[in-house]
Amino acid sequence: MTAVKRAFILLLIALAIRSAQGHQQIYSVVDFHAAADGKTDDAQAFLATWQAACSDPSRPVMLVPGRRTFLLSQVTFQGPCKSPITIRLDGNIVAPNGIWTTKPADLLAFHAVNGLTVDGNGEIDGRGAIWWDCYNKRLLGFSLCNDLTVRRIHLKDSAEKHMTLFQCSQVIVDSVSITSPADSPNTDGITVAWSNNTYISSCSIQTGDDCVSILSYTKNVTVTQSTCGPGHGISVGSLGRFETAKVEQVTVSNCTFVGTMTGVRIKSWQGGKGYAKGFLFESLNMTDVQNPIVIDQFYCPQRNCHTEPGGVAISDAKFIDIQGTSSEQEAIQLMCSQSVHCHGIYLSNVKLTWAKHTAPANAAILNAHGTTEGLVVPGIQFSNNL
């Protein structure tokens, strides 16, 4: 055999072995000396695993094996990586059982990682109870991540927001469940800001604040086939307090709300600038929701705001096929500012009744322009001719 032939055969054998492995190297945190006892901080082991996987060019998997618990202090997983990367999260992660930072921070942060998938049956427990009177500590943060998929994992008891998407695009969040007590403050489920093309489906979110909140500079968000409650509902905003608002193309469809504060809501501060437009709220089931349909141009949670001219322009919002019960009489609130009215509001096939009361639900309308079609209960008196 010539040297060239021998080299060629060796190459074929090497290729065969590589293809038998499916080209995909698995990096288990246990092989990088994670203690997996739920007591020792495994942050360094996770970072070492990430560094190895992230520099592998053939679609590596970072494995957090099941039936074990890993204690993690604050960890940032930095991209970019050499290729798309999957984190298989079958084991459970717990936050330290104490105050782990005094600054705004994410327990687990992913920064500038493109082609990231986080998938598995594992749980991330923020052990947030001791935090619930201070804020700005989030559980799982993604920033500057394109082509991101988060699937199946369970998030629990964050100190504040559970999952944040900031400056991300092409995001799929599927079959993720999130739980924290109804009275835990500011524990939003999923927050989307400065992001494009986010698709949230089949999620179950039970928290103390918004199930999903959609903040400024965000375009094309869908939330579908998901359940919400307890919590404050699915909210756009609050908008226009510090920034010029820009939100467009938001769809919430086929979702169920049980016992939430609002169902679907667009909220903005008086005096804001910018726009929020292109909303479709469709096929929603409300059970015992305080105010199922809300547009609030006077958002002011501390109730200490002065009347200010100007406001974020809210337009093109469709509410179609929304059924169920409200726990307060005012099932619909469309409260728009005197200086920037709401335009293009459309309601069709809406039927909301006041739970446990014989009196009908009602609607509060201020400076809102639009049309209705078919059955709309409670009835709407738009401001069109004023």
Residues marked active site are found at 209, 232
Cα–Cα distance measured from residue 114 to residue 101, given in angstroms and rounded to the nearest whole number: 28
Residues lying near ligand NAG in the complex (CB under 6 A) are found at 167-170, 194-197, 199, 219-220, 224, 253-254, 256, 258, 282-283, 285, 287, 323
Select from 137, 159, 45, 142 the least CA-distant residue to 91: 45
- Number of residues that make up the chain: 386
Pair type for strands 92-94 and 123-125: parallel
- Residue 9 CB, shortest distance to ligand NAG, in Å, is 46
Separation in Å, CA 19 to CA 25, 57, 357: 11, 15, 67
CB burial class (10 A; 0-12, 13-18, 19+) of residue 307? Answer: exposed
Select from 190, 195, 169, 185 the least CA-distant residue to 255: 190
Q: Which two tokens stand for residue 22?
A: 């499916």
Of the chain, the end-to-end C-alpha distance in Å amounts to 94
Cα–Cα distance measured from residue 231 to residue 208, given in angstroms and rounded to the nearest whole number: 5
Sign of CA dihedral 261, 348, 192, 79: positive
- Residue 152 CB, shortest distance to ligand NAG, in Å, is 18
Q: Using an 8 Å Cβ cutoff, are 244 and 211 in contact?
A: no
Q: Using an 8 Å Cβ cutoff, are 168 and 143 in contact?
A: yes
Cα–Cα distance measured from residue 190 to residue 213, given in angstroms and rounded to the nearest whole number: 6
| CA quadruple 255, 261, 264, 266: dihedral, nearest 10 | -160
Neighbouring residues of 169: CB distance < 8 A, sequence distance ≥ 6: 146, 147, 195, 196, 197
Cα–Cα distance measured from residue 189 to residue 299, given in angstroms and rounded to the nearest whole number: 20
Q: Which two tokens stand for residue 151?
A: 């699937």
Cα–Cα distance measured from residue 303 to residue 30, given in angstroms and rounded to the nearest whole number: 51
